[in-house]
Amino acid sequence: MHLEKIGEQQTDHMPLDFPLSLMKPLLEGFSAPVAAFDPRKAWEARYLTYCLVGNVKVPTGFVALDRTSAGGGFVLRVRCERSAGKGRVHRIDGEVSGATDELATPREWRATGDAAGARGTRLRSNWNGSAEKLSGKLSHQWSLLDAVQRMPQKPFPKLSFQYITYDGALLPRHTLAYRGAVEIQTGQGPLRLHGYEQLGGGILPWIYYTGDSGRLLIAVSGLEAWLFDGAAA
């Protein structure tokens, strides 16, 4: 896989071609969607998840997103499944509603977790929350997936905010910045990606990669990678 940097790197946390360089076995056969895409309208997306160590090419699960417009903002429905080994599966289902501003500021969110326990048991959890009594700039683990698809594909002032995880933890002092553009070679030819880097306490750094259309194609945090599933588009 050939990687080519385009322009100057805008953040100094990691090299611009990292972590794409770790995803070579996955990206060589990757096919980006060619259909028109408007991130401000309704859309659906599915991502296969991978672990970047071991047998990299075997998916560990999936993340499915379904965005609709509602009440002058949006609703993003999320379903995640991940293998826990020995035929066991962990699931998370939920949704977040929010505004169509630069951080997709959340209004309300809910999630249900269904995890495989010992001896065939299931462990279920529920989380619900609202931003009604919160102040300052906010984003949510899921609403940020909407926000990055509408962000400028050029340098902009670093965004600072409080980050809400799907299970309701409020993490202060998070930032999001444009990393720059990088070009990879795929089976369809060259593909330009725009990277956005999220840093902050309580998480491993997230890097989100969108295509020129704005569609989120790749997301990476630590050893976990999401890759857009063209077969499900």
Which range in 81-85, 88-92, 94-98 is most confidently predicted, on average pLDDT? 94-98
Distance CA 82, CA 181 (A): 30
> What are the domain boundaries of the chain?
3-232
CA torsion, points 100, 74, 97, 67, in degrees to nearest 10? Answer: -120
Q: Is the pLDDT of residue 191 over 80?
A: yes
> Phi/psi class of residue 7: alpha, beta or left (left: φ > 0; alpha: ψ in -120 to 50)?
left
Kindly indicate the confidence band of residue 29, based on its pLDDT and cuts at 50, 70 and 90: confident
Kindly report whether the global pTM for this prediction surpasses the value 0.75: yes
Q: Which of 76-90, 109-123, 131-145 has the highest mean pLDDT?
A: 131-145
**CATH code of the region 3-232:** 2.50.20
Judge whether 67 and 75 are in contact, CB under 8 Å. Answer: yes
Q: Is the pLDDT of residue 176 over 60?
A: yes
- What are residue 118's phi and psi, to 5 degrees? -75, 150
Determine the residue type at 37. Answer: F
